[in-house]
Amino acid sequence: MPSYGTALFVGGTRFIGRHTVEAFLEAGYDITTVTRGEHTDPFAGRAGVTNRTGDRTVRNQLEAARDAVEPDVVVDFVGLHPGEVREATDVFADARYVYVSSGSAYVPGDVPMREDETELHPCEPEQEDDDDAETYGPRKAECDRAVFAAAEAGVEAMAVRPMLVQGPHDYTERFGYWVNRVAEHDEVLVPGDGGSLLHRVYVEDLARALLLVAEEGKPGEAYNAADRSAYSLDRSLELIADALDTAVTPVHASERELAAHDVEPSAFPLYTPEPRLVSTGKLAALGWESTPPVEYIAETARAHVDAGVTGPDESLDRDTEESVITALRAEDGE
Amino acid sequence: MADTALVIGGTRFIGRHVVEDLLDNGYEVTIFNRGNHENPFSDVEGVDHVEGDRRNDTDLKAAALSVTPDVVIDCVAYYPEDVRVATDVFADADGYVYISSGAAYGVEEIPKREGETELCCCTDEQATDDSHESYGPRKAEGDRAIVAAAEDGVNAMSVRPCIVYGPHDYTERLDYWIDRVLNHDRVVVPGDGQNLWHRAYAEDVASALRIVAEEGEPGEAYNVGDRRLVTMEEMVDLIAEAADTDVEVVHAGERELAAAGLAADDFILYREYPHVLDTNKLAALGWESTPLAEAMERTVSEHRESDRDGGEHDPGREAEERVLGVLDTL
């Protein structure tokens, strides 16, 4: 295995970056994180990790960080606009550069989505600099193309496309919504027939994927990062219940039954109306393995309960959920 | 001299496609079966027929002696003992391929992967019974017999198909859905439409069997399924496109179905938990699958010429109409 000593992380000390720091520390790296300083640095005082304040959208601040750190490896957690990735691959042209992209870069539809077969979103020039959720996929796709272009110009640049990331410290609270429901209630409302399939990835496995691609990835290539084994929404609930040593009864509701209470299926975190699965063979071929869901869900569920996570603000409130469940139960004659 | 292939069983569905694929690839083919079904290749040059019962060892040995096949494709090994006998009888072939099944996997993982996902266990009682419940265990035990034969130096491999569809499919599972789409404007699909049960187009299963016979590693199993899966709703849409017609898919949840006395699994090809096979191992041998639209066009066009309607799987159009009627009023 090649060994590199110095890593620079652009952004990310909250969730993915936080776990990735641990993975790189364990592998013996000296790490510098470059952040705007808006969140508390969880590594303050830790040997081997230095934080620099800097704004990745200002080129000379990236250059200053590069000149101070002289990184062998750069991991870019916060490249949200193609211009930023073009800039970063130029500034860090002498390092191995890993861009954290997203499964959202794909035009959805293929099951499974494959790195070198499934189409990526096109991105219009006017979409490149905006911040709308609707253009997130197109922008991530264009960032990947910026990585490929840099690789053609000789930069050792790679992209990693994670699916829905889960684990402790997940500030999005999407998985936390379900943990909270299962922890607090016997019956939980689930859209559809419970078979909704959204591919997840455990944050620590993603961290190891980033390390592996940094060291062994092929320039110009993209790698999907998702659990080797996916599972349905209902199965998520069972796994959470097992972890918390409790039981749960999912109450399935069709789109019409939800609509009768003005509830959209999209009010449920992690629900997808069509399966979203990726092929993971390319990353596995580099030697990557993933933690069995039963193990990491146990750890994650307990961490979310301890942290008092309740779910995203925009998700379904429990009062509405209970009124739907009561109405459906009346129909069931229970 | 052309290579010779022996196809055990199969003049009905998968075997029929296997014979055609082998012919297209320059093999001289002999079919070995009891002759219970009409032989569609009786007048085709390059295809011989040897009559015999694969469960009768003497018959099988006689076929091996008369044909001395380079390649054997075994379409009808339903018991582990069948595989043990066949790998012994055909120990000298360049490739013996056993048609196993995705049902050999014993746990629900997504996707199911060769060498990683656990297989069914098989008790001695299960190994010899012929119930539907022991099908997976028997197929799994057959796979283990392949591994054992390979350890003894036999060039034996397994192929694990998921639900096979295509022309001449006597199971009529997809025919039910084709019939619905051809004859009705509105069709009930249980759940929210995203149910996933991996399917494999018959011609692609045939090419997989040949490619594994030629290129496969002894003792290995290879999943086969469409490289791209479609949900139940997308399957219905694909049928409509292939048939050049329109259909409205109506999702029905468990209560909406129950109101008409139906349950989701009354609908053929609905599976409670998604069944997905990883197909990368087979693809690495150079195998590809037919684009879905093309596969469906051939399937629908042959369906139109057949007298199959999937009637045996019909949950009852009257009950379905009741569901549709109620959902109309909402």
The residue extents of the domains of chain A are: 6-167+199-225, 174-197+230-276+292-332
Q: Name the residue among A166, A247, A147 with its Cα closest to residue A206.
A: A166
Within B75-230, strands assigned E span: 95-99, 156-161, 163-165, 186-190, 199-201, 221-224
**Same domain assignment for residues B118 and B260:** no
Quick one: which H or E segment has residue A224? strand A222-225
For residue A270, give how far its alpha carbon lies from the nearest alpha carbon of chain B (Å).
Answer: 15
Structure tokens at A91: 């500034």
pLDDT in tens, B309-329: 999 999 999 999 999 988 875
Asked if the Cβ–Cβ distance from B111 to A230 is below 8 Å, we say yes
In the sheet where A6-10 sits, what is the strand order?
A: A49-53, A30-35, A6-10, A73-76, A96-100, A156-162, A222-225
H or E segment at B32? strand B28-33
Distance, in Å, from the CA atom of B167 to the CA atom of B311, rounded to the nearest integer, reads: 17
In this predicted structure, what is the pLDDT of residue B306?
A: 97
User: Which DSSP string corresponds to A68-93?
Assistant: HH--SEEEES---SHHHHHHHHHHTT
Position B327 scores a pLDDT of: 83
Record the tokens describing residue A178, joined without a space. Answer: 């379900």
- B278 vs A2: which has the higher pLDDT: B278
Taking only the tens place, the pLDDT of each residue in A8-42 is: 999 978 899 999 999 999 999 999 999 998 888 99
Contact B195 A193 (CB under 8 A): yes
Mean pLDDT of chain A: 96
Distances (CA, A) of B99 to A261, B9, B26, B72, B154: 50, 11, 22, 11, 16
ipTM of the prediction greater than 0.90, yes or no: yes
- Please indicate, yes or no, whether residues B161 and B310 belong to a single structural domain of this protein: no
CATH number of this structure's domain A174-197+230-276+292-332:
3.90.25
Amino acid at B30: T
Shared-domain flag, residues B157 and B189? no
CA distances (Å), origin B134, targets B113, B118, B125, B138, B163? 21, 16, 9, 6, 17
Counting other chains too, the contacts that A235-240 makes at CB distance below 8 Å and 24 or more residues apart are A235/B273, A236/A175, A236/A178, A236/A270, A236/A297, A237/A178, A237/A182, A237/A188, A237/A190, A237/A194, A239/A293, A239/A294, A239/A297, A239/A298, A239/A301, A240/A178, A240/A179, A240/A182, A240/A183, A240/A297, A240/A301
pLDDT of residue A1: 46
Site from A200, A252, A254, A270 to mutate, B interface, most B CB atoms within 10 angstroms? A254
Rounded to the nearest 5 percent, the helix, strand and coil shares of chain B are 40, 20, 40
B85-103: pLDDT as tens digits: 999 999 999 999 999 999 9
Mean pLDDT of all residues in A318-330? 96
Q: What is the CATH number of the domain that holds B325?
A: 3.90.25.10
Q: What is the pLDDT of residue A3?
A: 63
Query: Does residue B250 sit in the same domain as residue B121?
Result: no
Cβ contact, residue pair A277, B110, below 8 Å = yes
CB atoms within 10 A of CB B135: 17
Total domains, chain B: 2
Residue-wise pLDDT tens digits, B267-323:
999 999 999 999 999 999 999 999 999 999 999 999 999 999 999 999 999 999 999
Supply the pLDDT for residue B12. Answer: 92
pLDDT in tens, A189-240: 999 999 999 999 999 999 999 999 999 999 999 999 999 999 999 999 999 9
Measure in Å the smallest separation between the Cα of B231 and chain A Cα atoms: 8
Residue B22's domain comprises: 4-165+198-224
Can you tell me the distance from the alpha carbon of B16 to that of B40, in angstroms, rounded to the nearest whole number? 8
Judge if B16 and B150 occupy the same domain.
yes
A59-76: per-residue pLDDT in tens? 999 999 999 999 999 999
Angle at B136 between CA B32 and CA B149, to 5 degrees: 55
Instruction: Give which of B34, B30, B153 is closest to B87, Cα–Cα.
Output: B153
Residues B189 and B320 in one domain: yes
Type and span of the H or E element at A301:
helix A293-307
Do B80 and B9 belong to one domain? yes
Q: State residue B11's pLDDT score.
A: 85
| A195, A229, A275 ranked by CB distance to B191: nearest | A195
Contact B255 A197 (CB under 8 A): no
Overall CATH class of domain A6-167+199-225: alpha beta
The whole-angstrom distance between A214's CA and the closest CA on chain B is 24
Q: What is the CATH number of the domain that holds B49?
A: 3.40.50.720
Distance from CA of B109 to the nearest CA of A (A): 6
| B273 with A265: Cβ contact below 8 A | no
Instruction: Extract the residue ranges of chain B whose pLDDT is less than 50.
Output: none
Per residue in A156-166, pLDDT tens? 999 999 999 99
Whole-number pLDDT of residue A161 = 98
- Per residue in A113-140, pLDDT (tens digit) is 999 999 999 999 999 999 999 999 999 9
Give percent above pLDDT 70 in chain B: 99
What are the Cα distances from residue A215, in Å, to A25, A96, B223?
14, 8, 32
CA distance B107 to A229: 12
Residue A334 pLDDT exceeds 70: no
pTM of the model: 0.95
In this structure, are B285 and B144 located in the same domain?
no
Residues in chain B, total? 330
Note whether B219 and B250 are same-domain residues. no
At what angle are helices A16-26 and A203-216 packed, to 10 degrees? 60
For residue B109, the chain A residues in CB contact (below 8 A) are: 229
What local confidence, expressed as pLDDT, does residue B329 receive?
A: 57
Domain limit, last residue, from B189, B224, B259: B224
Which positions in chain A touch B110 (Cβ < 8 Å)? 197, 229-232, 277
> CA A93, A216, A222: angle at the middle one, nearest 5?
70
Amino acid A4: pLDDT: 76
For residues B300 and B252, state if they share a domain.
yes
CA separation for the pair B62, B48 (Å, rounded): 14
